[in-house]
Amino acid sequence: MSEGIALVSLDCRIIGVNHCVGAILGLDSGAVLGRKYCELAQDESNTCENCPLDQIRSTGEPIETQCGLYSEDRIVAFHPVCDQAGRLAAYVLRS
């Protein structure tokens, strides 16, 4: 698998990653846990003030966008994760 996958909490903190995330970011995978998504998205269009996760919160729909993860532009897909009652519980990011 060469696709990076991250689980992100509702407060935008990374709570789980696969081994590819570290390779994509050039960091140890454990070093990204607990950090906010916007700390890793080094792209003016994906700041905390203009976060793609906010769009999911308002629409409930997955989105795909290009963003800069450290020095590399990548297409990132953002998917909502809902609990058994259908409420937004987390996000999955794929790159």
SS3 17: strand
CA angle 74, 82, 68 (to 5 degrees): 15
pTM, entire model: 0.82
Identity of the amino acid at 67: C
pLDDT at 18 over 80: yes
The pLDDT, as a whole number, for residue 89 is 95
The pLDDT, as a whole number, for residue 86 is 93
The string of pLDDT tens digits covering residues 40-91 is 765 555 455 667 888 898 899 999 988 766 556 778 899 999 999 999 999 9
H helix runs in 1-95, sequence order: 19-25, 37-40, 52-59
Single out the residue of 60, 66, 68 nearest to residue 91, CA to CA: 60
If one looks up domain 5-94 in CATH, what number appears? Answer: 3.30.450.20
Kind of pairing between the strands at 88-94 and 5-8: antiparallel
The string of pLDDT tens digits covering residues 24-35 is 777 888 888 999
pLDDT at 21 over 80: yes
Measure the CA–CA gap between 54 and 20, rounded to whole angstroms.
Answer: 25
